[in-house]
Copies of this chain bind each other. A is one copy, B any other.
Amino acid sequence: MGKKDNRQKALYGKDPWKIVETEFSPDSNFLDETVFALGNGHFGTRGTLEEGYDGPAGTSMEGTYVNGFYEKVPIHYDEPGYGYATHTETMLNLPNSKVIQVMVEDEIFSMFTGSLEHYHRVLDLQQGILWREMRWISPKGKIVNIETQRLVSFVDDRLMMIKYTITPVNFSGKIMLISMLDGHVHNHKSENDPRMGTSLQGQTLRLERIDQLGDMSRLLQVTTYSKLQILTGVSHLIQSDQPYKRETEIHGQMAQHRYEFSAEQGKRIGLLKAAVYLRGDRNHQENLWEMADKVLNSALEQGWAHYHFLQQQVLEDFWNNSEVTIEGDDLLNQGIRFNMYHLFQSAGKDGYTNIGAKGLTSEGYQGHYFWDSEIYILPFFLYTQPWRARKLLEYRYNTLDKARERAATLFRKPGALYPWRTITGIECSSYFPAGTAQYHINADIAYAIRHYVKATSDYDFLKEYGAEIIFETARVWMYLGTYSLQRNNSFCINTVTGPDEYTAIVNNNFYTNAMAKMHLHYAVETDQLLKDLYPVEYQRIAAKIQLKHQEVTKWDEAASAMLLLKDEELGIHPQDDTFLEKACWPFDSTPSENYPLLMHYHPLDIYRHQVCKQADVLLAMYLLSDQFTLEEKRANLGYYTPITTHDSSLSRCIFSIIEAEAGSAEEAMNLFIKTARIDLDNHQGNSHHGIHTASMAGAWLSLVAGLAGMRLKGNELYFSPHFPEKWKSYGFRLKFKGNCIKMTVREDIVELELLEGEKVSVTIFGKKYRVSSDKTLTIEGRGDV
């Protein structure tokens, strides 16, 4: 696998609303499974084939995941230390309910035997289904038409449906459909790639109960260590007037339903299969066993068409709020919509789950949630489905107690330190130099809350959840920082790791200090805001967390005294105290196959050099845009671009944004393009191990914040769009304070429509406009209405 898929452009067609495959190949199969994965925020399943896979080893990985459903495993350290993460949580590979094997007379249907006369696989971004149709000629010459349709329901989170249709073309005879629920599953072994895998070995799901009742099978399992229950159920409906007989069987944790038809040439045989994934821990009051029965029966009763229709309804709504269009580049259109679609499929919606680095398409990074959620992904939801952004933030509130425990362990003081990677809120990073040391996670979360509140005016959220997080997390900076006499009594934060993981354990990382300053100031601002507007709520929070005025004053002082490095000669912000003194990475003598560097060089070797995996100073320049001049942005861009490898998928989008603002639109465009099709073109070479959710959202940011120059200042939106050179036009829709705005940029014209809401102020090219619902705002050139 790997980068070889890269060569072939447009592996999935050019339809801007469809991901289309017309040729099946084991070369791309592993990647296909990721691309064609379905999900609904609660669970997801890889785009594997119903009939199973007979291709070469290492070109497929079966996987179905319930968001946040995990096994908890102790972390072994050969050399343990105080305060190390004690356990890791791994999102579990769950029973496979997709299996439908086919026997045509005595031949087993497989993509690897006989021949395909026709083959089509499509993920439809407007219909919300995955379908496959083909004409298969068996080795013995039997011809069948097969059509499969699959959906993971957006309206019933627990439900997947598969509609399987087979028609004998040139014969009458026996056709058998063997449908399974296969509970013999385990997570895949890590390949010594730190970005992959897990230390889980073998099956960790234990059988609690399994049964079959007519066309239904139910399987209740419990995890070995975390003691979580999962019920997987399947049920079937035959849609055929051909006679058939049914046999059922259970082997261990696997249930089988065999339907043997006496098929007549030319007559369709249909099998509708419904599957449910119910987790027991948060629904323990209900009877999972009976609930599965109900959901499955109701699903089969309502039928495929019903759920199919609802998929379209939900997506129509989604695209109405968030559609992005690039006229003149279908591949980009396809790429960015594919990204948005996958984000939509991946993000948790219940306040207890979030969005993993690989969404629900793989167990890579163990299904962990990172800062990606707040810094990269949240803006997309915030401006398209703000309620989902709120849910992602509520997740942090719901894990605040665990962050408090972590702070207590590390500092023996009040406050909260969020984990670098986690499912339930405990620190799961076993490598603290690029884990716990990335204290900026606290500021990232604070930033996201600030962003959310300013873009939505949802003060209800702030007083119920946000403020408490802001205060508790702010406290930690006071333990980490110190006033340095040697440096003019500046507030210094030593021994940290910033976003750039190619530098670790340094002092005064620019991003960390800048974000900590923002965080502390915002904590002070929030303190005042709550006192003024919600004194009762304020009292409740202050009493709960023992917050005193004196403490807030110290935050203010520290924020004001924060050391922000600047090298006057170069006109740039050094990434940390000693970054500029290090030797530059020997790029000239580094062969291209040695990227990403982390896979080919020891961390110490990398840390010793000026080389960045990803945006660090530049990320601060985007997030805290106001605090930097254009000149500064240009200088830093010029300095950091040649030493940044973009080995992290979180990097190019940020460079693209800064390029758009301060550099060249062309370079911004190039970076955007690489980001926008990261998984469809497998740019990182590892998309077979799952999508890159942060980068997918980053692509959206590259367009909206990059090319269109959107910034939130105060409580208002600012734009400064680049006019498209390569395209006819580009445009996008945004939700903002309850309004829905549509911006279109073409040739020399910027158009703004208000699709929902009555009026809204926006600033374009530095000039403020009021847009109302009755009239499209049209600006020609750079500011003349």
Contact = CB atoms under 8 A, between A and B. Distances in A.
Contact of A432 (B432, B437, B603): B603
A189 to B, nearest CB: 12
Contact of A194 (B79, B432, B577): B79
Nearest to A599: B82
A726 interface: no
Contact of A79 (B431, B582, B599): B431
Contact of A581 (B75, B78, B429, B492): B492
A442 to B, nearest CB: 14
Given A482-B583, A607-B495, A80 B507 contact: no
A433 interface: yes
Nearest to A73: B78
Contacts of A607: 495, 505
A505 B505 CA distance: 7
B436 A602 contact: yes
A190 B74 CA distance: 15
A487 interface: yes
Interface string A457-501: 000000000000000000000001010101100001011000000
B411 A199 contact: no
A246 interface: no
Contacts of A432: 602-604
A649 interface: no
A78 B76 CA distance: 8
Contacts of A577: 577-578, 581
B581 A507 contact: yes
Contacts of A192: 80
Interface in A397-454: 409-411, 429-433, 435-437
Contacts of A409: 602
Given A487-B581, A505-B607, A581-B486, A600 B82 contact: yes
A582 B482 contact: yes
A580 interface: yes
A79 B602 contact: no
A687 to B, nearest CB: 21
Contacts of A79: 194, 429-431, 435
A83 B601 contact: yes
A76 B199 contact: yes
A227 interface: no
A142 interface: no
A243 interface: no
A81 B598 contact: yes
A505 B433 contact: yes
Contacts of A194: 79-81
Given A505-B505, A578-B578, A190 B80 contact: yes
Nearest to A576: B578
Contacts of A84: 602
Interface string A580-612: 111100000000000000111111110110000
A88 interface: yes
A455 interface: no
A507 B88 contact: no
A82 B598 CA distance: 7
A577 to B, nearest CB: 6
A190 to B, nearest CB: 7
Nearest to A77: B430
Contact of A78 (B82, B430, B480, B598): B430
A608 B495 contact: yes
A83 B594 CA distance: 14
A263 interface: no
A82 B480 contact: no
A504 interface: yes
Contacts of A505: 433, 504-505, 604, 607
Given A433-B433, A433-B505, A602 B410 contact: yes
B604 A436 contact: yes
A349 B419 CA distance: 50
Given A78-B430, A495-B608, A505-B504, A83 B581 contact: no
A605 B411 contact: yes
A432 B577 CA distance: 22
A357 to B, nearest CB: 13
Contacts of A75: 78
Contacts of A484: 581
A77 B194 CA distance: 9
A413 B433 CA distance: 27
Contacts of A437: 604
B410 A605 contact: yes
Nearest to A507: B578
A486 B580 contact: yes
A435 B495 CA distance: 18
A186 to B, nearest CB: 17
B411 A578 contact: no
Interface string A287-325: 000000000000000000000000000000000000000
Nearest to A580: B486
Nearest to A428: B78
A202 to B, nearest CB: 15
A608 B505 CA distance: 9
A598 B81 CA distance: 7
Contacts of A193: 80
A494 B608 contact: yes
Contacts of A433: 433, 505
Nearest to A490: B581
A496 to B, nearest CB: 8
A411 B487 CA distance: 36
A90 to B, nearest CB: 10
Interface string A595-635: 00011111111011000000000000000000000000000
5 contacts: A77-B430, A83-B602, A410-B602, A482-B583, A494-B582
Please provide the 7 A-B residue pairs with the shortest distance between their CB atoms, ordered closest to farther: A83-B602, A78-B430, A482-B583, A495-B608, A505-B505, A79-B431, A495-B607
Given A76-B199, A577-B577, A578-B578, 5 more contacts: A78-B199, A80-B192, A410-B605, A505-B607, A507-B581
